[in-house]
Chains A and B, each alone.
Chain A
Amino acid sequence: AQTVTQSQPEMSVQEAETVTLSCTYDTSENNYYLFWYKQPPSRQMILVIRQEAYKQQNATENRFSVNFQKAAKSFSLKISDSQLGDTAMYFCALGGGADGLTFGKGTHLIIQP
């Protein structure tokens, strides 16, 4: 069985600061994908970034980047120059392809003005 663990239920930072959300996972698969999704109060799930496990290079999307440590099964999300609109629940997810996703419990990120 696959598991995803997010150990930070809530984080709060000041606007423009950098924040890192942690995620660890466990899987017996060799080929898999990792994702970070954002869920604002509207509850619409929004893809933030994805990482293919067979790629060593860390994925980046503008202000968002990941630190993917395959051996340690760690997949953290770094948000640079945080903005008020980044306030949301952030879910780390494992799976992809034909499989459904396994989600972590989420981290509630609050960006303070």
Chain B
Amino acid sequence: GAVVSQHPSWVICKSGTSVKIECRSLDFQATTMFWYRQFPKQSLMLMATSNEGSKATYEQGVEKDKFLINHASLTLSTLTVTSAHPEDSSFYICSARGGLAGVGTDTQYFGPGTRLTVL
């Protein structure tokens, strides 16, 4: 139980284009989803927190107009990197927090990540 998927697993795009990454909770409804970024050989840094039907809350230093987050349902959140540049190349990981019986609300379950390369 508590499986989170991400799509795509990797993407290569040209500078200036936009890329959308999907995060889905497959067997539970997620009240909250989180987006993290991980540079090579570094730790995970929280980018934003999203609740279904609400605007995302961004961490300090994260450009909300560049990293658009939509949390349209209790099982789907999307991150769109707009006008991507090479410095946006990174590993993006989502997590989902359960809110219903059988899945603890205090634990985040992570997707497998998306490797973004901007040329």
Contact = CB atoms under 8 A, between A and B. Distances in A.
Interface of A: 33, 35, 37, 42-47, 50, 52, 91, 96-106
A36 B93 CA distance: 17
Interface of B: 32, 34, 36, 38, 42-46, 49, 59, 91, 93, 95, 97, 105-110, 112-113
A100 B43 CA distance: 14
A95 to B, nearest CB: 8
A50 B49 contact: no
Q: 6 shortest A-B CB distances, which residue pairs?
A: A45-B110, A100-B46, A96-B106, A103-B43, A103-B44, A100-B34
A104 B43 contact: yes
Given A43-B112, A43-B113, A50-B107, A98 B97 contact: yes
A97 B105 contact: yes
A94 B97 CA distance: 14
18 contacts: A33-B106, A33-B107, A35-B107, A37-B110, A42-B112, A45-B93, A45-B110, A47-B107, A96-B107, A98-B32, A100-B59, A101-B34, A101-B44, A101-B46, A101-B108, A103-B43, A104-B43, A106-B43
